[in-house]
Structure formats: structure tokens, C-alpha cells
Amino acid sequence: MVDYNDAIHEYTLEGIHLPSVSELLKPILSDYEIDPKYAERGTAVHNLTDLWDSGLYLPELADDELMPYMMAYEDFHDQHDIEVQEIEMMVFNPTLMYAGRLDRLWLIDGKKHLTDTKTGGKYKQHLFQLCAYHMALPPTDCELSNLYLNPFNFKLHTWGQGERVYGNRMVEALSLIYWDNHRMDRKSLEKILEAKHDNTRSI
């Protein structure tokens, strides 16, 4: 249903732009800017962890800067029983009309987690990002967690129920703000989704 153009990182539905989770969060990130150097490092570590969990990682792929982060990721796997279920899974919320690509759905010590891996410290927007991904999934009972990787150490943080309720409300509010500023696209998408729903019911 949703198309993704990897070259320009854009989600569309029948040619109409859909906000990504990151785009949805922009109003609360205006004062939060990441140094491009750290953003590039985070992306590089993220890509290497994808290779690790796909069975394609080789130590020589990590340079001297990245290797301490990958050693932390190896420690995480060594200290926990991990069963990966989904990697980089595309999701779409037809009610709030946004799309995204979640990092991991996996079992950690037998408990299901929706996890996003970060390098650096914990920020509230990490919760909102996870809530947005979770709200775009079919009903799924799982923990929402961030895996924070730093040189030679990791921390798995699981967000509490009260925080999740707050996060869900924030995502709903941000969706309303976005679509209030894009009313024509919203109306077009609502018609498309309603037609798809009617066609499904008639089958």
C-alpha cells in the first residue's frame, strides 16, 4: 500500500506524501540539533548492527572509531538471549497517516521488545519515536526499549507504562498538527483510505 523511495527517504500513498516518524517529530526537535559528525557515526553503527543481526557482519567493517561500539553490541548479545523477529520493518498508521521503519522487533530473554538502538544518551524524543512505531503496528503486546551503545558498554532502557501513555498522546497531537498544516493532502488520503476500506469490506 505504501511506497518508499530510499533515494530521497520519502513515503507515499498513491503519489501523496506521507510524513515519516522523524518528520512528525520535527516540531519538538527544532531546538535539538545533532552534530553531523555524531549523526554519521550513529548511522554507521546502526548499519553495522543490522549486518550483525542479519549474520553478515565482519569485524574488518568497523574502523577504530566504530569498533568499541560494536564490542558493546557484542556484549549485549553475550549477556542476553536474543531472538530477532524483524529488522528495519516498514510500518504505516492509517488512522494518523504516517509511516516509518522500526529498528527491531525481537525477544530479549524471552520477552518481546520493540527496540531502537542509539549511540549516546537518553532523550525524551526516543520515547515518542518508539510510541509512533508501536502505534503503527497491528495490536502488539511488547516492551518499548532503547538500546544505548557507547564505547565498550551498553544500557538497555525500557520505558514505563505511564511514559508510554504520554508518548502516545504526543504522537497523536503531532499528527493533528502536521495534518492541520497539510489539509488538502489529508483530505485526499482520507478518501483513498476510505475507498480501500470499503473495497475490503465488499470482498
Provide the number of structural domains found in the chain. Answer: 1
Question: Do the beta carbons of residue 123 and residue 28 sit within 8 Å?
Answer: no
Domain carrying residue 150: 3-202
- List, for residues 173-202, the tens digit of each pLDDT value: 999 999 999 999 999 999 999 998 766 443
Instruction: Indicate the residue type of 120.
Output: G
Among residues 179, 93, 175, the alpha carbon closest in space to that of 133 is found at 93
What CATH number is attached to the domain comprising 172? 3.90.320
- List, for residues 39-69, the tens digit of each pLDDT value: 899 999 999 999 999 999 999 999 999 999 9
What pLDDT does 30 receive? 59
What pLDDT does 53 receive? 97
